[in-house]
């Protein structure tokens, strides 16, 4: 998520996150309650508050599990003959890791197609073996991981703290994936938002 593509991938992940939240309004309420309890209603969320908002981080983690910004990790090349999953791989072969499939593998995840931020509560999921790696793994993992997580968590926290969010109709948000290397939504997100009364009071001071 770092480098020239950082803006596009971060914005795309935010769109997926809001789409998931709009289809699961109870999660928005839980996240708002966490913010109201830990931050209060007399100031806005600050970047330094992220460590005290673990459920908000769970939402980001679950979004990245279901809709990783790079569904296929950066290509690698085998330096020597090897065996992967029972298949013989000759030296010099280009190798791609399909992390989208790993993140949806029912052998690794309970109900993998369900949005459930609670699955990440209480664990350091960013280092949970090789079943969760939205930024890659090892020496060639994305160097912008820390910045991307901070930006997304901080931004989503402000959006949840400041606004009430609703779908534009009773119809669920279309979660169809579009073509592209960064997993865009096929249909751009449209939603309704209204400034929360607590924030109106805060901004009027």
Number of domain units in the chain = 1
| Residue 82 resides in a domain | no
pLDDT bin (cut points 50, 70, 90) of residue 8 is low
What mean pLDDT comes out for the span 52-75?
A: 92
How much is the pLDDT for 127? Answer: 56
- Taking residue 45's Cβ as centre, other Cβ atoms within 10 Å add up to 23
| Residue 78 resides in a domain | no
| Residue 94 resides in a domain | no
| Residue 184 resides in a domain | yes
| Residue 76 resides in a domain | no
Q: Which tops the pLDDT comparison, 154 or 96?
A: 154
Q: The domain containing residue 53 runs over which residues?
A: 3-71+99-203
How much is the pLDDT for 30? Answer: 97
**Mind listing the pLDDT tens digit for each residue in 17-60?**
999 999 999 999 999 999 999 999 889 999 999 999 999 999 99
142 annotated binding-site participant:
yes
Cβ neighbours for 74, distance < 8 A, ≥ 6 positions apart: 136, 140
Give the DSSP letter string of 41-62.
Answer: SSS---GGGGGG-HHHHHHHHH
The CATH number that applies at residue 12 is 1.10.630.10
Measured distance between the N- and C-terminal CA atoms of the chain, rounded to whole angstroms: 37
Closest Cα to residue 125, out of 183, 62, 50? Answer: 62
Q: What is the pTM of this model?
A: 0.88
**Mind listing the pLDDT tens digit for each residue in 163-176?**
999 999 999 999 99
């Amino acid at each position: 998520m770092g480098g020239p593509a950082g803006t596009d991938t971060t914005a795309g992940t935010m769109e997926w996150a809001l789409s998931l939240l709009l289809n699961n309004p109870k999660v928005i309420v839980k996240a708002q309650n966490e913010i109201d309890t830990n931050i209060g209603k007399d100031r806005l969320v600050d970047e330094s508050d992220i460590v005290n908002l673990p459920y908000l981080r769970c939402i980001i983690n679950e979004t990245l599990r279901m809709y990783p910004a790079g569904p296929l990790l950066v290509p690698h090349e085998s330096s020597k003959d090897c065996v992967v999953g029972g298949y013989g791989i000759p030296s010099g072969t280009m190798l791609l890791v399909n992390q989208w499939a790993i993140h949806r593998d029912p052998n690794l995840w309970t109900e993998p197609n369900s949005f459930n931020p609670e699955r990440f509560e209480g664990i350091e999921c960013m280092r949970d073996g090789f079943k969760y790696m939205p930024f890659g793994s090892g020496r060639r993992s994305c160097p912008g991981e820390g910045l991307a997580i901070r930006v997304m968590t901080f931004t989503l926290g402000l959006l949840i703290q400041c606004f009430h969010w609703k779908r534009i109709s009773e119809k669920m948000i279309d979660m169809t994936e579009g073509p592209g290397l960064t997993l865009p939504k096929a249909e751009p997100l449209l939603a309704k938002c209204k400034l929360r009364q607590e924030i109106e009071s805060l901004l009027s001071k």
